Every structure is written in structure tokens, then in C-alpha cells.
Chain A
Amino acid sequence: MRQGLLCAMLILPLLSACSTSTHIDEFRMSSKQLDLNGGEKVVVMGRRHAGEYETEPDFIDCIGGKLAGGGQVPVVPEQQFLDSFYPWFEPRTAPLGLRRMGKMLEDPLIAERLQQVGIRYMIWVDGNTETTEKNGAVSCAIGPGGGGCFGFATWDKASNYEAIIWDLKKLDEKGRVKVDTKGSSYLLAVGAPIPFIAQVQGEACEGIGKRLQGFFAAGTSSP
């Protein structure tokens, strides 16, 4: 009974400690929701022009999934879009601003393909998730009588992302969503390792995905 209480006392603070904190800022150009008519679609793209970091493709897939949730917003997968428009949206050729995007759309080849694929809104996501601090150590050993791990390790992760919505029909910006998520994870090892992982990137995706979904009028899309 006493042992169980001790374990609970040890584990409960850890469980509550591995929670995350998320801060979201949203900016809209207009209070009107964004329309999607007659098969118009959205594409979510990651920025990868900087050398020191790049927006993770699985994070972009996650946002796309959240946005498309329930089939409300038709989303074109990032890789499919990149292949359809190769080489115009590669890390070193993608337009960084609306002016450059406008120039690209002056090329009938790109404009026609955009119309064929049906892209109305392009959402650029810039940022990444990184480990900011690491402490402690866990060591494992194995011998003839068995093996085990012992120790305690902790690490902090931070996600910082900004999503910008471009309307390719009107060639203007419709809004921005900025998300900052922080969280600490722990690994306790007394014989077997017990991880308490904070879903930092998952929380950031949830936050940004839901806010982006809020930009689009529910049920306005037609297949």
C-alpha cells in the first residue's frame, strides 16, 4: 500500500509536468470567412529556403489533415502539388512574397496548371520544432542475470510556426496564424524506462490546424 502511494506520488507530478503550453495569435484581413467555390482547393506548403532549419514535411501533412478534417476543406497534398509544378515551388525557387507569386502567375503555363489543379488558396507555413534543453542521463546495462536501465533524463522542446494565407485569385493576403508551443518531456528509468513525452509538435499542429479551419466557411466547398 505504501509502495503504491509512493509510486503514485512520484508519477503524478511527472504526468502533470510533461504537459505543454500553447500560445496562438491570429490576424484576419477581414471578418468574412473565405469562400471555396466550384471545386476550388487549398494547398499547405512548408518553407524550406533557409539553411539552418526547414519546416518539417510531416508537420505540413498534419496541418493538411486537420484542415481537411471531415472533408470541409479540400486540401491538395504538398508533394502532389510540388510534383505538378516542378520546378517552380522547390526550396530555392518558390516565391517568398506575393509580388513574386504575381510575376509567376503571368506565365500562362503556371496559371493554366493552377487552374487545372484548382488551387485557390496557398497556405505557407514557416518554422520548426527544436529541442531547447537537455538534462540528466539514463544508462542501461545487460548481464547474464538480465538487464535494466537506471537514471532520469529531461528535455524541453519548442515549436514556433507561422502560417500565411494567400488568395491566388485576388493575389492578396487573407490572414496569419502564429503558434508557439513549449513542453518538457521526461524519461524515468528504474529497471525499465518509463517515458513521459510532451506532444509539442502535435499540439502546435492541433492549434494552427483548428485556427486555419476557422478561416474557411463551413460547407462552402463542393466536390
Chain B
Amino acid sequence: MTTMKLASARHPLLLPLILLAALLCACSTNVTVNGDYPSALTRKQPLRVGLVLDDQFSHYQFESDKDQTQPVTMALGESQVKLFSRVFTDMFQSSNTYSSLAAGNNQVDLLVVPQVEEVQLATPLETQLNVYEVWLKYNLKVYDSKGQPIADWLMSAYGKTQSRALKSDSEALNQATVSALRDAGARLVIGFERVPEIRQWLAERQSQSRLSQREAP
């Protein structure tokens, strides 16, 4: 207390500044997204896939515009790594994680590099409802084992707060984001084989393996 009195006597603006900073912090929402994602009920593709999760993806943090009345900071990286790793393990015969894209990887059939293209957020102040809405847009770059590009798949996901009687803003935002990530997982499982370029690559691979089986003595 004595120290505080001394400090405020020396710097008269210090105390009001601390109070102002504390008030500003109280208005903003900071969330580290934390969710559990279930195992996907899907047939494993007979493919060895390398999932490239670079530093930018693993530590992705969304920050809303600073001039917004309700600024939001959302650490998404850890949770999206958890989701993608889980879904890829369920989708493919084998799935390994890499931190960077290395050309000429003979241990995999496909390399998938997810990137966060865009994150959009609607806060309760904007929606006039007691819910958050989250839109996630990913760009999944798919390469073959030689590093040749196969597809650029733009995949979007949506989620919103389900219960309107949540305790806090951060809990509501976390629920909306986990729901959007869950939707992203669903899109991955159902949509991956439907991407025309990937479908074509899979068909070519299948016909090649049939041909080599016929040619084998």
C-alpha cells in the first residue's frame, strides 16, 4: 500500500492508467479453444498420408479488429491440431504428422497441408442474440509423394453457441468454435473423396494398381 502511494505520488498518471488498462481488459474476450472431438465413424482409406502442420497452423491465433467494441483474441492452434490429427488417423490406413513440407517423401502416398484462410466471428453485440457464431475457412493443399500439387481444397465450417444460458463470454465463444471445428471434421470425412481432383487421383491410383496386379506373373 505504501509502495502504491509512493508510486502514485511520483507518477500521478500511473494509477488511472492501470485502472483504464484493467477496464479495457475486462471488456475483451480471450479464449484458448479447448474441445474434445470424437472418433470418426468412417472406413479407412488404404493410403499413407502425411499431415503437415506447420508452426503457423499449430499456433494459430485469431485477433478481431482492434476498433471493435468487443475485441476478441482466440488461440485456435492447439485445438485444430487435435481435430485434424484425430480425423486423419480415422480416415487413413496410416497418418504421420510433419512440421514442414519436404519434397520427395517416399513414406507417404499423399501430403496434406492445411492452412487457415479466414476466421469470421459474430459476437452477441452484432447478432443481438446471446450467441457467438464462428466461420472457419481452411485451404487444404494436397500433394503427391513427389511433391506435385494435386488439389487446393477450400473448406468452410460453421458453428454457434448452442445454449443461450452460458456463464461467460469465453465459454460461449469456446462452444461456438468447438462446434465449428466439429463441423470442419465432418466436412473432412465426408468431403475429402468428393473433391474432383482428389477423386480423379484416387481413381487413377486404383486403375494403376489393378494394371500392375494383372501384369504381375
Q: What band does the interface of chain A fall in when counting residues whose beta carbon is under 8 Å from B?
A: 10 to 19
Distance A88 CA – B39 CA, assembled complex (angstroms): 12
Residues of A within 8 A of B169 (CB): none
B162 at the interface (CB under 8 A from A): yes
Distance A107 CA – B173 CA, assembled complex (angstroms): 35
Given contacts A57-B162, A57-B163, contact A90 B41 (CB under 8 A): no
B54 at the interface (CB under 8 A from A): no
B163 with A86: CB separation less than 8 A: no
B186 with A90: CB separation less than 8 A: yes
B186 with A92: CB separation less than 8 A: yes
A58 at the interface (CB under 8 A from B): yes
Q: How many residues of chain B are within 8 Å of chain A by beta carbon?
A: 19
B167 at the interface (CB under 8 A from A): no
A83 with B38: CB separation less than 8 A: yes
Given contacts A56-B163, A58-B163, A93-B190, contact A86 B40 (CB under 8 A): yes
Across the two chains, which residue of chain A brings its CB closest to B90? A86
Across the two chains, which residue of chain B brings its CB closest to A79? B38
A54 with B162: CB separation less than 8 A: yes
Residues of B within 8 A of A151 (CB): none
Tell me the chain B residues, 30-89 only, with Cβ under 8 Å from chain A. Answer: 37-43
Distance A83 CA – B182 CA, assembled complex (angstroms): 10
Tell me the chain A residues, 71-118 only, with Cβ under 8 Å from chain B. Answer: 82-88, 90-93, 109-110, 113
Q: Please indicate which of the listed interface residues B41, B162, B164, B190 has the most CB atoms of chain A within 10 Å of its own CB.
A: B41
Residues of A within 8 A of B186 (CB): 86-87, 90, 92-93
Residues of A within 8 A of B160 (CB): 54
Across the two chains, which residue of chain B brings its CB closest to A54? B162
Residues of A within 8 A of B42 (CB): 87, 109
Distance A88 CA – B38 CA, assembled complex (angstroms): 12
Residues of A within 8 A of B163 (CB): 56-58
Residues of A within 8 A of B162 (CB): 48, 54, 56-57
Residues of A within 8 A of B158 (CB): 92
Distance A167 CA – B97 CA, assembled complex (angstroms): 43
B101 at the interface (CB under 8 A from A): no
- From the candidates B43, B164, B185, name the one contacting A86 in the complex (CB within 8 A): B185
- From the candidates B43, B164, B182, name the one contacting A90 in the complex (CB within 8 A): B182
Residues of B within 8 A of A56 (CB): 162-164
Across the two chains, which residue of chain B brings its CB closest to A52? B129
Tell me the chain B residues, 170-199 only, with Cβ under 8 Å from chain A. Answer: 182-183, 185-186, 189-190
- From the candidates A48, A86, A90, A110, name the one contacting B39 in the complex (CB within 8 A): A86
Q: How many whole Å from A71's CB to the nearest CB in chain B?
A: 27
Residues of B within 8 A of A109 (CB): 41-43
Q: How many whole Å from A201's CB to the nearest CB in chain B?
A: 11
Q: How many whole Å from B33's CB to the nearest CB in chain A?
A: 18
Given contacts A54-B162, A57-B163, contact A92 B183 (CB under 8 A): yes
Distance A93 CA – B185 CA, assembled complex (angstroms): 12
B183 with A91: CB separation less than 8 A: yes
A-B complex: 3 closest residue pairs judged by Cβ atoms: A87-B186, A83-B38, A86-B38
Taking Cβ atoms with an 8 Å cutoff, the residues of A that contact B are 48, 54, 56-58, 82-88, 90-93, 109-110, 113
Please list 22 pairs of residues, one from A and one from B, whose beta carbons are closer than 8 Å in the complex, sorted by A's number. Answer: A56-B162, A56-B163, A57-B162, A57-B163, A58-B163, A83-B38, A84-B41, A85-B41, A86-B38, A86-B186, A87-B182, A87-B186, A87-B189, A87-B190, A88-B41, A90-B182, A90-B183, A90-B186, A93-B186, A109-B41, A109-B42, A110-B41
Q: A57-B163, A82-B38, A86-B186 are in contact. List 9 more A-B contacts (CB 8 A).
A: A85-B41, A86-B40, A86-B41, A86-B185, A90-B183, A92-B183, A93-B186, A93-B190, A109-B43
